[in-house]
Amino acid sequence: MVNKAKDSTPRDPSDNFAQKLNRLFAARLSPDGDEYALTAIRDATGGRLTIAYLSLLRKGGIQHPSLDKVELLADFFGVSVTYFTDKEGAVYVDDEMSEALRKALAEPRVRELALRASELGPAEHDLYIRLLEYSKEVAARIADEKKTRTVDTDNQQ
Protein backbone atom coordinates (compact mmCIF):
# COMPACT_ATOMS: atom_id res chain seq x y z
CA MET A 1 0.00 0.00 0.00
CA VAL A 2 1.37 3.40 -0.95
CA ASN A 3 1.53 6.06 1.75
CA LYS A 4 -1.18 8.62 1.04
CA ALA A 5 -0.03 11.20 3.60
CA LYS A 6 -0.13 14.68 2.17
CA ASP A 7 2.76 17.12 2.45
CA SER A 8 1.67 19.92 4.77
CA THR A 9 4.60 22.20 4.02
CA PRO A 10 3.77 25.55 2.41
CA ARG A 11 3.94 25.51 -1.37
CA ASP A 12 6.65 27.65 -2.82
CA PRO A 13 6.14 28.39 -6.52
CA SER A 14 9.92 28.18 -7.00
CA ASP A 15 9.98 24.55 -5.81
CA ASN A 16 12.39 22.36 -7.72
CA PHE A 17 11.26 19.83 -10.30
CA ALA A 18 11.21 16.89 -7.87
CA GLN A 19 9.00 18.77 -5.40
CA LYS A 20 6.54 19.73 -8.14
CA LEU A 21 6.47 16.18 -9.49
CA ASN A 22 5.99 14.67 -6.05
CA ARG A 23 3.13 17.07 -5.37
CA LEU A 24 1.44 15.79 -8.54
CA PHE A 25 1.91 12.20 -7.41
CA ALA A 26 0.20 13.09 -4.12
CA ALA A 27 -2.61 15.12 -5.71
CA ARG A 28 -3.43 13.21 -8.89
CA LEU A 29 -4.18 9.71 -7.67
CA SER A 30 -4.83 6.58 -9.68
CA PRO A 31 -8.39 5.24 -10.00
CA ASP A 32 -7.80 2.98 -6.99
CA GLY A 33 -6.99 6.02 -4.84
CA ASP A 34 -3.24 5.40 -4.49
CA GLU A 35 -0.33 7.28 -5.97
CA TYR A 36 0.46 6.10 -9.46
CA ALA A 37 3.08 3.39 -9.58
CA LEU A 38 6.14 4.17 -11.67
CA THR A 39 5.31 1.13 -13.78
CA ALA A 40 1.94 2.69 -14.71
CA ILE A 41 3.68 5.83 -15.97
CA ARG A 42 6.30 3.79 -17.81
CA ASP A 43 3.56 1.76 -19.50
CA ALA A 44 1.40 4.81 -20.30
CA THR A 45 4.35 6.51 -21.98
CA GLY A 46 5.31 3.46 -23.99
CA GLY A 47 8.53 3.08 -22.02
CA ARG A 48 9.77 6.55 -22.95
CA LEU A 49 9.92 7.27 -19.21
CA THR A 50 11.70 4.39 -17.50
CA ILE A 51 11.27 3.43 -13.87
CA ALA A 52 14.90 4.35 -13.15
CA TYR A 53 14.48 7.76 -14.80
CA LEU A 54 11.22 8.47 -12.94
CA SER A 55 12.83 7.45 -9.67
CA LEU A 56 15.71 9.86 -10.28
CA LEU A 57 13.26 12.64 -11.10
CA ARG A 58 11.30 12.06 -7.89
CA LYS A 59 14.48 12.01 -5.77
CA GLY A 60 15.91 15.14 -7.39
CA GLY A 61 18.72 13.30 -9.14
CA ILE A 62 17.68 14.93 -12.41
CA GLN A 63 16.79 18.56 -11.90
CA HIS A 64 16.35 19.74 -15.49
CA PRO A 65 14.75 17.03 -17.65
CA SER A 66 14.36 17.57 -21.38
CA LEU A 67 11.20 19.19 -22.69
CA ASP A 68 9.98 15.95 -24.29
CA LYS A 69 10.15 14.20 -20.89
CA VAL A 70 8.36 17.10 -19.19
CA GLU A 71 5.64 16.95 -21.87
CA LEU A 72 5.15 13.23 -21.25
CA LEU A 73 4.73 13.82 -17.51
CA ALA A 74 2.42 16.79 -18.03
CA ASP A 75 0.24 14.74 -20.41
CA PHE A 76 0.13 11.80 -18.01
CA PHE A 77 -0.95 13.91 -15.04
CA GLY A 78 -3.24 16.16 -17.07
CA VAL A 79 -1.47 19.43 -16.40
CA SER A 80 0.15 22.03 -18.60
CA VAL A 81 3.91 21.94 -19.16
CA THR A 82 3.94 25.34 -17.42
CA TYR A 83 3.21 23.51 -14.16
CA PHE A 84 6.87 22.45 -14.27
CA THR A 85 8.43 25.37 -16.14
CA ASP A 86 6.63 28.48 -14.93
CA LYS A 87 6.75 29.60 -11.31
CA GLU A 88 3.10 30.65 -11.46
CA GLY A 89 2.11 27.46 -13.29
CA ALA A 90 2.54 25.26 -10.21
CA VAL A 91 0.59 27.65 -8.03
CA TYR A 92 -2.19 27.86 -10.63
CA VAL A 93 -2.58 24.07 -10.84
CA ASP A 94 -2.59 23.75 -7.05
CA ASP A 95 -5.16 26.54 -6.76
CA GLU A 96 -7.24 24.98 -9.55
CA MET A 97 -7.30 21.62 -7.73
CA SER A 98 -8.16 23.31 -4.43
CA GLU A 99 -10.94 25.33 -6.07
CA ALA A 100 -12.45 22.23 -7.70
CA LEU A 101 -12.41 20.47 -4.33
CA ARG A 102 -13.97 23.49 -2.60
CA LYS A 103 -16.75 23.65 -5.20
CA ALA A 104 -17.43 19.92 -4.93
CA LEU A 105 -17.53 19.99 -1.13
CA ALA A 106 -19.88 22.98 -1.18
CA GLU A 107 -22.58 20.57 -2.38
CA PRO A 108 -24.21 19.00 0.71
CA ARG A 109 -24.62 15.56 -0.84
CA VAL A 110 -21.04 15.45 -2.08
CA ARG A 111 -19.86 16.48 1.38
CA GLU A 112 -21.97 13.73 2.95
CA LEU A 113 -20.57 11.15 0.53
CA ALA A 114 -17.03 12.26 1.34
CA LEU A 115 -17.65 12.16 5.08
CA ARG A 116 -19.17 8.70 4.89
CA ALA A 117 -16.35 7.46 2.68
CA SER A 118 -13.77 8.72 5.17
CA GLU A 119 -15.09 6.18 7.68
CA LEU A 120 -14.43 3.26 5.34
CA GLY A 121 -11.36 1.16 4.71
CA PRO A 122 -9.54 0.59 1.40
CA ALA A 123 -11.70 -2.38 0.34
CA GLU A 124 -14.87 -0.38 0.96
CA HIS A 125 -13.38 2.59 -0.95
CA ASP A 126 -12.88 0.31 -3.97
CA LEU A 127 -16.47 -0.93 -3.70
CA TYR A 128 -17.74 2.63 -3.27
CA ILE A 129 -15.93 3.76 -6.42
CA ARG A 130 -17.29 0.78 -8.39
CA LEU A 131 -20.82 1.55 -7.17
CA LEU A 132 -20.48 5.18 -8.25
CA GLU A 133 -19.18 4.17 -11.68
CA TYR A 134 -22.02 1.64 -12.08
CA SER A 135 -24.64 4.17 -11.02
CA LYS A 136 -23.30 6.62 -13.66
CA GLU A 137 -23.62 3.90 -16.31
CA VAL A 138 -27.18 3.07 -15.25
CA ALA A 139 -28.17 6.75 -15.19
CA ALA A 140 -26.74 7.20 -18.71
CA ARG A 141 -28.68 4.16 -19.98
CA ILE A 142 -31.90 5.49 -18.45
CA ALA A 143 -31.32 8.91 -20.04
CA ASP A 144 -30.68 7.25 -23.43
CA GLU A 145 -33.87 5.19 -23.11
CA LYS A 146 -35.87 8.33 -22.30
CA LYS A 147 -34.43 10.08 -25.38
CA THR A 148 -35.26 7.08 -27.55
CA ARG A 149 -38.84 6.96 -26.24
CA THR A 150 -39.24 10.72 -26.81
CA VAL A 151 -37.98 10.42 -30.39
CA ASP A 152 -40.27 7.41 -31.02
CA THR A 153 -43.26 9.30 -29.60
CA ASP A 154 -42.49 12.37 -31.71
CA ASN A 155 -42.19 10.21 -34.85
CA GLN A 156 -45.54 8.57 -34.22
CA GLN A 157 -47.37 11.88 -34.06
Instruction: Band the pLDDT of 120: cuts 50, 70, 90.
Output: confident
- Find the mean pLDDT for residues 82-97: 67
Q: Which of 91, 106, 121 is the last residue of a domain?
A: 106
User: Do 96 and 130 sit in the same domain of this protein?
Assistant: no
User: Do 61 and 138 sit in the same domain of this protein?
Assistant: no
Residue type, 121: G
The number of CA neighbours under 13 Å toward the Cβ of 148 is: 6
pLDDT digits (tens, 9 = 90+) for 44-87: 999 999 999 999 999 999 999 999 999 999 999 988 888 888 76
Domain count, the chain: 2
Q: Is the pTM of this model over 0.85?
A: no
List of residues 6+ apart from 25 with CB closer than 8 A: 35, 36, 58
Task: Let me know if residue 3 belongs to a domain.
Answer: no
- The count of other CB atoms within 10 Å of the CB of residue 93 is 23
